[in-house]
Amino acid sequence: MAVLEIQTYPAPVLKEKARPVAAIDAEIQCLIDNMADTMYNAPGIGLAANQVGALHRIIVYDLTPKENGRNLNVIINPEIVAASGELVHNEACLSVLDYSCDVKRKACVTVTGLDREGKPVCIEAKDLLAVVLQHEIDHLDGVLFIDRISRLKRSLYKRQLQKSLKK
Ligand code: NI
């Protein structure tokens, strides 16, 4: 297992669409292990494969408070099959440095996909879990949370980023 480098905005790979996983082979299992290591090391509560430069439709997440141990969740080829309601949550991302912003999303989502053994999973999520699933699945489609905020806020972020890169 290894901690991988996390790609940060504006890395082109974050704009790309990840491809469905056709076979859950040793390479994919290794990628999942490394994604989990990378997420825990960051630390973060969710990570999509694009963020480590791999264009496979895989997300990992763990919303368990640290003191309660780890509960790694993996979804391969995740898909939102139902969504309802509306919710605003202050989001941040390991790929968007030094920034957080309120983002409006669906309050409840149903997500289907496969676990790392290839068994079908169906997750009915609300609140933070619903936010995390939508945020991570967005990554697989090349979408960042800053793509879901106003143009004004996005341009302010870009200016802030440029300044911090010059330092
Ligand atoms: Ni993210």
Considering the entire predicted model, what is its pTM?
Answer: 0.96
pLDDT 10s digits, 57-87: 999 999 998 788 899 999 999 999 999 999 9
19 in a structural domain = yes
Strands 96-105 and 108-114: unpaired
Cα(99)–Cα(154) distance, rounded to whole angstroms?
A: 10
Distance 67 CA to ligand 1 centre (A): 23
- Confidence at residue 65, expressed as pLDDT on a 0 to 100 scale: 83
**Displacement of CA 132 from its chain's centroid (Å):** 7
51 in a structural domain = yes
Distance 139 CA to ligand 1 centre (A): 7
Q: Which domain holds residue 53?
A: 12-166
Mean pLDDT on 81-98:
97
CATH number of the domain at 91, please.
Answer: 3.90.45.10
64 in a structural domain = yes
pLDDT 10s digits, 16-36: 999 999 999 999 999 999 999
Distance 47 CA to ligand 1 centre (A): 6
33 in a structural domain = yes
Neighbouring residues of 20: CB distance < 8 A, sequence distance ≥ 6: 57, 77
From residue 51, alpha-carbon distances to 16, 55, 65, 97, 107 in Å are: 11, 9, 23, 13, 24
The verdict on whether 91 is a catalytic residue reads no
Distance 95 CA to ligand 1 centre (A): 6
5 in a structural domain = no
40 in a structural domain = yes
Specify the number of domains making up the chain.
1
